[in-house]
Amino acid sequence: DQVLHIVPETFQQVQHLQLLCSTLMLDLWKPLQPEDIRAGEDLHIRVPAPLVQEVKDSLDQHMISYRVLIPDVQKLVDQSMPRERSSHKQVSEGYVYTEYHPMEEIYQWMTQIQKNNSELVTQHILGKTFENRTMYYLQISQPSNKPKKIIWMDCGIHAREWISPAFCQWFVKEILQNYKSDPKISRFLQNLDLYVLPVLNIDGYIYSWEKDRFWRKNRSPYNNGTCYGTDLNRNFNSSWGSVGVSFNCSSDVFCGSGPESEPETRAVAQFIKSKKSDIVCYLTMHSYGQLILTPYGSTTKPPSNNEELMQVGKDAAAALTGKYGTSYKVGSTALILYNNSGSSRDWVHTIGIPLSYTFELRDTGTHGFVLPADQIQPTCEETM
């Protein structure tokens, strides 16, 4: 739709315009009624898109000059109002992957995904959160008589990093939508099973939707309920409590009362331990920073397979940059970010899983944790 600005010069022009407005039932913005159109005075009309050409032709025919005041009314409307539930990116079940979803909807999504893709997807219980919510992971596995190795990916260990669960959901959708048509993906699934945990820190995630957008930790109480939350990524049994942590519950890097003190940590650790010999790659998704982080956080001494870790990491970063030019840095947490201990990625590596990475998704601080939803798609596409 366009809005045209016209200043009629003669009475004939006024008459023609009045006729045009009433026959085509155009939306007069100024003046409000056709009878108030006057020669020498501003006229603003909104013309619906399908009529734009016809109206302009008619004005040209009558030598009435006009100017386009607003070339795209919808665009202006969209800009002035945050879109609530727009459906620009509808995918098969109607789930909008380019928006952030509250936990309720993610639970429903998991159920749907399994239902719609039952030949490939099974939903499993990992454990329970402190507030007794069920932690589910999705197993994407192509039936075969070959035993398969596993790639594990978890998202949402830190509540405020909303782009992370958004990525896990996107990832699952991409795999399921394209495994038949994309030779790379189908070959992948012939040899590997994918285990995806869309939200690890469910209690924290819900809290960041309902109470505090910048909450990071889980929601277990300490100090007689006067203080809440352990940083789950400081709670794993890898040099636990040694560096980059606080023993004070009010800190955002509180490491808990002991390694694996938190039910969420235990749920993940137990499972990974049980499948240890089959997991070849562990990925944990965070934001922000645009980093691919390798072990370790607690020391700058490189892990035994550092060369391989760095090579694969660099290849991944290059592929990512190839998509939209987004640059990622690759390296160990201790060198690139800060010192920390008790991270899931480090623990996984120490128990023998060779390829273990933390991804810090977009951006580098411009929006930080509140990454606009319109960046969900490009972030996810490049990270795929």
Partner 1 sequence: RAMELPPSHFPAGRAAAVALGYLRYLRGGPGRGLQLRQLRRARRQDIEDAGHKYSLELELEDVLDKDRTVTCTAEVLYPLGSKSSAPEVQVTVQGELRSTQEADQDFYNRIRSLEKELVAENIPDSHGNVPPHLEPIHLLAWAASGYVIWQNSTENTEFHLAQVKHVKQVKRSDEDLQFDYVVLLHEMVSQEVIPWEVTVLWHPRRGARVSRDRRQPGH
Which residues form the catalytic set?
A: 360
How many chain residues interact with partner 1 (CB under 8 A)? 37
Check residue 368 for interaction with partner 1 (CB under 8 A). yes
Distance CA 339, CA 299 (A): 7
The CA-atom distances, in angstroms, between 84 and each of 87, 212, 326, 371 are 9, 20, 28, 16
Structure tokens at 25: 């039932």
Q: Select the span of 80-88, 186-194, 260-268, 344-352 touching partner 1 (CB under 8 A).
A: 80-88
Q: Tokens 């619906």 map to which residue? A: 48
Among 216, 219, 286, 345, binds partner 1 (CB under 8 A): 216
In the set 96, 185, 336, 384, which binds partner 1 (CB under 8 A)? 336
Nearest alpha-carbon partner for 140 in 182, 166, 97, 169: 169
Choose the stretch contacting partner 1; rule: CB under 8 A; options: 47-55, 66-74, 305-313, 331-339.
331-339
Instruction: Report the residue number, 126 or 245, with the smaller CB distance to partner 1.
Output: 245
* Segment interacting with partner 1 (CB under 8 A) among 57-65, 107-115, 180-188, 251-259: 251-259
Least distance in angstroms from the C-beta of 293 to partner 1: 11
Residue 226 contacts partner 1 per CB under 8 A? no
Minimum distance from CB of 243 to partner 1 (Å)?
11
Residue type, 316: A
Judged by beta carbon, residue 143 or residue 365, the one nearer partner 1 is: 365
* CB within 8 Å of 341: residues ≥ 6 apart: 234, 238, 239, 240, 241, 242, 243, 244, 245, 255, 297, 298
Q: Is the dihedral of CA 129, 131, 134, 138 positive or negative?
A: negative
Q: Per CB under 8 A, which of residues 105..124 are in contact with partner 1?
A: none
Give the residue, chosen from 63, 68, 77, 370, that forms a contact with partner 1 under the rule CB under 8 A: 370
CB of 162 to partner 1, least distance (A): 8
CA distance 164 to 292: 14
CB of 7 or CB of 69, closer to partner 1: 69
Residue 284 Cβ vs partner 1, minimum distance, rounded to whole Å: 16
- Asked if 11 is part of the footprint of partner 1 (rule: CB under 8 A), the reply reads no
- The tokens of 24 are what? 């085509």
Site for partner 1 in 271-300 (CB under 8 A): none
Inter-helix orientation angle 103-116/202-210, to 10° = 130
User: Do residues 286 and 232 make contact, with C-beta atoms less than 8 angstroms apart?
Assistant: no
SS3 of residue 279 by DSSP: strand
Please answer whether residues 14 and 39 qualify as being in contact, where contact means their C-beta atoms are separated by less than 8 angstroms: yes
Closest approach, Cβ 58 to partner 1, in A, equals 34
**175-214 positions binding partner 1, by CB under 8 A:** 209, 213-214
CA–CA separation, 372 and 83 (whole Å): 12
Kindly tell me which residue out of 23, 33, 61, 80 binds partner 1, with binding defined by CB under 8 A: 80
Binding site for partner 1 (CB under 8 A): 79-82, 99-100, 209, 213-214, 216, 231, 244, 246, 250-253, 327, 329-331, 335-338, 364-375
